[in-house]
Amino acid sequence: MSAYGKPKVHVLLEGRYRKLVRDLPQTIFYCPVCKGRGKGCQSCEGFGKLTKDSVQELIQRKVLPRYRSRRGKFHGAGREDLDVRMLGGGRPFVFEVVNPKNLIVDLDEIRDAINDYGRARIEVTDFVTVPRKRVAQIKETHSPKVYRSLVVVDKEPTDEALEQVIGRSVEVMQRTPQRVAHRRADKDRLREVTVRSIERADGPAGETCLLIEVVCQHGTYVKEWISGEEGRSRPSLASLLEVDTRCLALDVLDVPGPFPELEGVSAPSFNDALSWPPANGDEDRWDLPTPNSVSVRAADGDAVAAPMATEAGDPAEEQE
């Protein structure tokens, strides 16, 4: 109920998004020092958040005015790290419009407006309206993820080592990574990783690299599995290949589900999976940051992406 005794109206729109660039969080990246208040905060220079934009903001800036609403909630099927692209078939989400004053909207026009506004940064599918229960279905479905990564190695692994790993499914015991241990229970979790392919690749600045594609069980910390994180992931890609490894760049290629079917309509999807590497002209196919490119407004402290106006307990993705 609202303050005036009238029930609030909620419109829920389901779609999928692709995130075509790095350094763009899924939800608002609040300053961890001032908690988004901004005023007088030196860490974020009074801005209240650490990045100018997020997937959520690029969407809601076009959705909310058309519904004449002042507030929206973003519910994603997990999330990817700020520096990880979401490609392939995109990630499912539900955008919730709170207490709209206008209910006569053109969903195709909203889709086109978002895609024009977020051009070369994000793109979304058609939208369909869904019932409240769909939020729980989207957020609670434990989907495997397909990743592609550019991995720096300290030396060339042997052909024999590669042959033993490619096509293999590995049970991995992962202790909570150090980067999230302050806000997650410090415990071991058993996950499964399947290595689809490994190719030798030329890295930037002449680094020796591998291009790997893996399928990971929900809840797998992929970056830490690649490096091993000093034994916190056992076995790791590093231990299997007997080389030192570091994840230089990571892309999500697929979040397949299975998600429950919608009643009466088809779940939104892109017409075609985005080919890899993405078509970006002569630019680096990995969209690697240059030393002088900094999109995060402040790098001090422990910066954690905090969703705006999302429900408590929003499940975090393997790579946050």
Say which residue, 7 or 240, is predicted with more confidence: 240
- Per residue in 121-170, pLDDT (tens digit) is 999 999 999 999 999 999 999 999 999 999 999 999 999 999 999 999 99
pLDDT recorded at residue 290? 61
Residue 105 predicted with pLDDT over 90: yes
How confident is the model over 94-122, as a mean pLDDT? 97
Instruction: At 96, list the tokens.
Output: 């919730």
Cα→Cα distances 278→214, 248, 275, Å: 18, 17, 6
CB 259 within 8 A of CB 14: no
Residue 302 predicted with pLDDT over 50: no
4 pLDDT band, cuts 50/70/90, is low
pLDDT recorded at residue 318? 44
pLDDT recorded at residue 196? 97
Distance of alpha carbon 115 from alpha carbon 117, whole angstroms: 5
Residue 109 predicted with pLDDT over 50: yes
> Does 145-253 match 1-141+258-320 at the fold level?
yes
Question: What ranges do the domains of the chain cover?
Answer: 1-141+258-320, 145-253
- Active-site positions read 81
Distance of alpha carbon 226 from alpha carbon 203, whole angstroms: 16
How confident is the model over 42-61, as a mean pLDDT? 92
CB 305 within 8 A of CB 296: no
Residue 315 predicted with pLDDT over 80: no
CATH number belonging to the domain at 145-253, selected among 3.30.70.3190, 3.30.9.10, 3.30.470.10, 3.40.1360.10 = 3.30.70.3190
pLDDT recorded at residue 7? 65
Q: Note the pTM of the prediction, 2 decimals.
A: 0.86
DSSP H helices, the chain, are 55-67, 107-117, 133-140, 159-165, 222-227, 237-241
- The fold adopted by the segment(s) 1-141+258-320 is Alpha-Beta Plaits (3.30.70)
- Residues whose CB falls within 8 Å of the CB of residue 61, separated by 6 or more in sequence, listed in order: 117
